[in-house]
Amino acid sequence: MTFTQTFNLALPALPSGWSAEKDFKAVGTLSGATQRNLEAVGPFFLAHARRKRHGRTFSEDERIQAQQNVKKTEEDDLGEISEPEDNMLLAREAKDWKSQDHYQVLGLTKYRWRATPEQIKRAHRKKVLRHHPDKKAALGDRDENDQFFKCIQKAHEVLSDPVKRRQFDSVDEAADVEPPTKKEASKNFYKLWRKVFISEGRFSNIQPVPELGDENSSQDVVEEFYNFWYNFDSWRTFEYLDEDVPDDNESRDQKRHVEKKNANARRKRKTEDTARLRHLVDDCAAGDERIKKFRKAARADKDKKRLEREAEAKRLVEEKEKARLEEEQRKKDAEEAAKAEREANKKAKEAAKNATKKNKRVVKGSVKDVNYFDEAPSAAQVDSVLGDVDLILSKIDAEELAGLAGRLTAAGKDAAAVKTVYTEEVQRLVGAGKLKEGEAKFFA
């Protein structure tokens, strides 16, 4: 509901004494007049001219224009049918609809599985405008054979139903692209095989399908492509080729038999198609220079790593052998040094032993040289002197023996001097606690 409210507002009164002659102030002036030529254009002027020319009213002109637009649209639609209709196609029997190419019937062979629902709808409309029995009768064609029109209707029925269309696309051999021969692929490998995989990719449950790529594709891209196709997930069911199942309720056994037969046939075709696709991918991979390049690079890398491993193993063996030889040499040198040391020690011991024997001879000879400290010593004196000498020799070590022998040698054959040396040695031994006082009786 709309409400209207009116407000009565009076304009403010002019100030007293205000006049236009003295109080009005102009902010600008008008420019001078300019003469220009104007040309009438645009759809509205054309419509006006058309009505004037033909002496039409607005309603008459709109009606005539609408009729002309409809006629032009029909002519344009018919003119877009670019695929010729041969006599064999026009002579098809409607009962053989299952063997007909539905895309060819509607004039969509260049689109096939790529055709959109809108294109199918438009193509059907074009065919109906051309082949409808009433249309033909209106044009004076009295041929009452409407078999091809029924084919058109069946093609539209199949292609406009997503399920039925997928069943037909599953067995549409006209959409298949034959793989190139080795000779053909050697000239244009990627272009020819790309068409094959685009055609096969229409059956993939996984979209989008990886592209084949080109000679510059990376190894990851190539491996992704072949892994996808070697593990291809296809929706092809081959149901379109099923034998018709009888609808007669009295032959249920026959119906089950036919259904089982169709299921077995679909499984067989599915297996054969999987093997066909695997063989096709194998052929493509066998001629793909990128795979050869990657394998060659992999072998080179593998050989490089193998050589590095062998070199490292050889280095370790050499180092181990070197360490073993060094250890053997070290042991050998140690053994030789130990042997030399033993020989030196042995010689030193023998020399010391010989020196000790010599010094003992000097010590014992010193008392003999002085005739045992008497001109005609008695046997008892000789025994007493030699007993004390042996006692002294038993109490001193090699170094002390050498010192004693040296002093006795220096004393010579002076009996007093020799006895003094012995007396001093006895006193030293007594002082060292090695001899008891009076134990050496002759030299006490």
CA 320/CA 32 separation, integer angstroms: 113
CA 323/CA 317 separation, integer angstroms: 10
CATH code at position 360:
1.10.8.840
Closest CA to 418 of 428, 429, 405, 427: 405
Element of type H or E holding 61: helix 58-79
pLDDT of residue 7: 72
Here the tokens at position 52 are 């004037």
Strands (E), 60-101: none
Let me know whether 316 and 368 are in one domain.
Answer: yes
Let me know whether 205 and 244 are in one domain.
Answer: yes
> What residues pair up with 234 in beta bridges, in sequence order?
204
Let me know whether 438 and 322 are in one domain.
Answer: yes
Locate all alpha helices (DSSP H) within 249-396, ordered by sequence. 252-287, 289-369, 379-395
Find out whether 191 and 259 touch, Cβ atoms under 8 Å: no
- Phi and psi at 199, nearest 5°, equal -65, -45
CA 51/CA 70 separation, integer angstroms: 20
Q: What is the residue type of 40?
A: A
Let me know whether 276 and 322 are in one domain.
Answer: no
Q: What is the residue type of 48?
A: H
pLDDT of residue 410: 86
CA-CA distances (angstroms) from residue 170 to 157, 166, 199, 364?
17, 6, 12, 131
pLDDT digits (tens, 9 = 90+) for 136-172: 666 555 555 688 899 999 999 999 999 999 999 999 9
Let me know whether 163 and 114 are in one domain.
Answer: yes
Asked whether the predicted pLDDT for residue 18 surpasses 90, the reply is no
pLDDT digits (tens, 9 = 90+) for 395-410: 888 888 888 888 888 8
Half-sphere exposure of 358 (CA within 13 A, CB side): 11
**In 3-state terms, what secondary structure has residue 20?**
helix
pLDDT of residue 138: 60
Which of 19-28, 41-50, 109-118 has the largest mean confidence? 109-118
CA 162/CA 126 separation, integer angstroms: 21
Lowest mean pLDDT among 75-84, 132-141, 309-318, 364-373: 75-84
pLDDT digits (tens, 9 = 90+) for 370-394: 888 888 888 888 888 888 888 888 8
Regarding predicted confidence, which is higher, 3 or 104?
104
pLDDT of residue 76: 53
Instruction: Examine residue 50 and state whether it is found in any structural domain, yes or no.
Output: no
- Phi and psi at 439, nearest 5°, equal -70, -40
Instruction: Examine residue 299 and state whether it is found in any structural domain, yes or no.
Output: no
Across 236-246, average pLDDT: 87
Domain boundary among 151, 173, 195: 173
Closest CA to 87 of 148, 128, 175, 139: 148
pLDDT of residue 353: 84
Asked whether the predicted pLDDT for residue 63 surpasses 90, the reply is no
Asked whether the predicted pLDDT for residue 70 surpasses 70, the reply is no
CA 121/CA 111 separation, integer angstroms: 13
Tell the residue number behind the tokens 């010391």, with chain if given: 352
pLDDT confidence band for 222 (50 / 70 / 90): very high
Let me know whether 166 and 192 are in one domain.
Answer: no
Q: Say how many domains are in the chain.
A: 3
Let me know whether 320 and 438 are in one domain.
Answer: yes
pLDDT confidence band for 362 (50 / 70 / 90): confident
pLDDT digits (tens, 9 = 90+) for 269-319: 999 999 999 999 999 999 999 999 999 999 999 999 999 999 999 999 999
Instruction: Examine residue 51 and state whether it is found in any structural domain, yes or no.
Output: no
Let me know whether 345 and 438 are in one domain.
Answer: yes
Instruction: Examine residue 69 and state whether it is found in any structural domain, yes or no.
Output: no
Query: Do you find a cis peptide bond into 15, omega within 30 degrees of 0?
Result: no
Straight-line distance from the first to the last Cα atom of the chain, in angstroms, rounded to the nearest whole number? 163
Closest CA to 444 of 405, 401, 387: 387
pLDDT of residue 137: 67
CA-CA distances (angstroms) from residue 143 to 84, 135, 138, 155, 255?
20, 11, 12, 22, 40
Domain boundary among 173, 192, 207: 173
Instruction: Examine residue 60 and state whether it is found in any structural domain, yes or no.
Output: no
> Is the pTM of the predicted complex or chain greater than 0.75?
no
Half-sphere exposure of 47 (CA within 13 A, CB side): 12
CA 95/CA 241 separation, integer angstroms: 15
Longest dimension (CA), the chain: 195
Across 200-227, average pLDDT: 94
Here the tokens at position 441 are 């009786």
Domain containing 130 equals 77-173
Q: What percent of the chain has pLDDT over 70?
A: 93
DSSP 94: G
pLDDT confidence band for 2 (50 / 70 / 90): low
Instruction: Examine residue 129 and state whether it is found in any structural domain, yes or no.
Output: yes
DSSP 6: -
Let me know whether 195 and 154 are in one domain.
Answer: no
Let me know whether 160 and 206 are in one domain.
Answer: no
Find out whether 204 and 166 touch, Cβ atoms under 8 Å: no
Instruction: Examine residue 194 and state whether it is found in any structural domain, yes or no.
Output: yes
Across 198-214, average pLDDT: 94
Across 316-336, average pLDDT: 92
Let me know whether 316 and 281 are in one domain.
Answer: no
DSSP 302: H
Across 199-217, average pLDDT: 94
Let me know whether 315 and 438 are in one domain.
Answer: yes
Instruction: Examine residue 240 and state whether it is found in any structural domain, yes or no.
Output: yes
Domain boundary among 122, 146, 173: 173
Quote the mean pLDDT of the chain. 86
